[in-house]
Amino acid sequence: MSRQDVKDEVIHLRSAGVDLGKRFLLACARTPSPTRPGNWTLETERFGTTRTEVLRLLAWLQEHRVEVVVIEATSDYWRSIYYTLQPHLNLMLVNPAHLKGIRGRKTDPSDAAFLARAGASGLVMASFVPACEIRELRDLTRRRTEIVRAVGREAQRLEKELEDTGMKLTSVISDVTGATGRAILTALLGGERDPNRLADLACGKARQKIPALVEALDGEFTDHHAFMVRHYLDEIDRLRGIVAAFDARVTAMLTDHQQDLDNLDTIPGIGRLAAEIIIAETGGDMAPFATAGHLASWIGVCPGQNESAGVNKSGRTRAGNSHLKRLLGVAAMSAIKDKTSYLAVFYRRIATRRGGKRALAAVMHKLAIAIWHILHDTVPYRELGADHLSARTPERTMRRMIKEANRLGLTLRFEPIAAACP
């Protein structure tokens, strides 16, 4: 390859790479050589990570007139650097998984130079970094999810404490922090120990279980148990109050996305909270994702690719956005419970051949595609129905029915339904 060919492959004549750390960073500027045409000069400089040092880095990069700056997304150290430089420079935040260090040359300066060369040649793709208001919304929804999980953990600790008393309350009612559970626990904390009186506090449908509650509430509830139960209940109430405050703030920030939230709420398995998380993670704008497949790949629910010598081998899905991936997993398990829906039929068809786990991943992929179309076209979800797959490929359906009948020693014959007489 000639020197001219190498020069033509360069997209950005002036580029820079930044290798990040917690206490310092190394920046490498790649600029055309003034004395040797067709060659480049690498200049490396070390900076701190304080705001003063980052501003000095900005001035240094502007002095070299770089056209693109490649930053590797190392932990959370990239955030302050990226947010400071973004208004002034063309930045590319790249996934570390897409960049592998050169074997035998793993040093900070060589990493920065490699990033600069990769950016100049267009060998890396920029990661999706949402706008400031979406980043703030992300912080709220992610923290709210953590607090909700903490509520669940405290409820589990409360159940364990009740097991220590010998009471089997959780074997009769599903939610010990619900109306019936709260009433019984409040009475226990007030000194009531009679199982019959405690069981009589049941509310709603739980009153049908009063005989089972009387038997389950026979135990030794001591003062120590009362102290611990009060502690767990107070902690649950405190955390739920925090969740309510987060809910109010998230709702206020999503006033402009009401139509998108309503449309997302029509997807099977997706509720209001899930819709808020989807808007927070994607920004509600599908412009960064050219197709539904791009969104599914970004989330990490698309089929993996592993082809060698013309043979397609099994490939794992990529890590992707763990928050949305976990959410789609829960939504998929909820959506397939409706046996008359398209997703449930699709799940059963895939599970027969590939197993339940892969079928669930396929449903998650379907949900990601639906999310893209709903947000891109601003339309609600359209249920295809349980007979969609059969109606689309009737020959395949008939072959499957004949095969099942033959296994049972039967013979099937299909005849068209006669048209109704006028």
pLDDT, tens digit, 9 for 90 and up, residues 320-371: 888 999 999 999 999 999 888 899 999 998 998 889 898 999 999 999 999 9
Same structural domain for residues 150 and 249?
yes
Q: Model confidence at 59, in pLDDT bands (50, 70, 90)?
A: very high
Q: Model confidence at 106, in pLDDT bands (50, 70, 90)?
A: low
Amino acid present at 218? D
Same structural domain for residues 267 and 231?
no
Same structural domain for residues 36 and 170?
no
- The pLDDT score that the predictor gives to residue 74 is 79
CB 270 within 8 A of CB 262: no
Residue 60 within any structural domain of the chain: yes
Does the pLDDT of residue 6 top 50, yes or no? no
Residue 421 within any structural domain of the chain: yes
Rounded mean pLDDT, 71-99: 85
Same structural domain for residues 137 and 113?
no
Quickly tell me which residue has 């404490």 as its tokens.
161
Same structural domain for residues 201 and 279?
no
Phi-psi region of 5 (alpha: psi -120 to 50; beta: other; left: phi over 0): alpha
Residue 100 within any structural domain of the chain: yes
β-pair partners for 40: 32
Residue 126 within any structural domain of the chain: no
pLDDT, tens digit, 9 for 90 and up, residues 122-180: 777 778 888 889 999 999 999 999 999 999 999 999 999 999 988 888 888 888 888 99
- The pLDDT score that the predictor gives to residue 2 is 40
Residue 174 within any structural domain of the chain: yes
- Tokens standing for 292? 């539904």
Residue 127 within any structural domain of the chain: no
Same structural domain for residues 98 and 152?
no
- The pLDDT score that the predictor gives to residue 305 is 67
Listed residues 121, 155, 178: the one ending a domain: 121
Same structural domain for residues 50 and 117?
yes
Same structural domain for residues 274 and 411?
yes
Same structural domain for residues 353 and 405?
yes
Quote the number of domains for the chain: 3
Listed residues 90, 121, 152: the one ending a domain: 121
- The pLDDT score that the predictor gives to residue 4 is 41
- The pLDDT score that the predictor gives to residue 420 is 47
Same structural domain for residues 107 and 243?
no
pLDDT, tens digit, 9 for 90 and up, residues 205-234: 888 999 999 999 888 999 999 999 999 999
Range of the domain at 157: 133-253
Same structural domain for residues 290 and 420?
yes
pLDDT, tens digit, 9 for 90 and up, residues 7-49: 446 788 888 988 888 888 889 888 888 777 777 888 888 999 8
Question: Helix, strand, coil shares of the chain as percentages rounded to 5?
Answer: 55, 10, 35
Same structural domain for residues 238 and 326?
no
Residue 128 within any structural domain of the chain: no
Listed residues 99, 121, 143: the one ending a domain: 121
For the domain that residue 105 is a member of, what is the CATH number? 3.30.420.140
| pLDDT, mean over the chain | 86
- The pLDDT score that the predictor gives to residue 144 is 96
Residue 184 within any structural domain of the chain: yes
- Tokens standing for 216? 């389950």
- The pLDDT score that the predictor gives to residue 400 is 80
Burial call 316-351: b when 16+ CB within 10 Å, e when fewer:
ebbebbebbbebbbebbeebbeeeebbbbbbbeebb
Rounded mean pLDDT, 388-394: 79
- The pLDDT score that the predictor gives to residue 105 is 55
- The pLDDT score that the predictor gives to residue 378 is 92
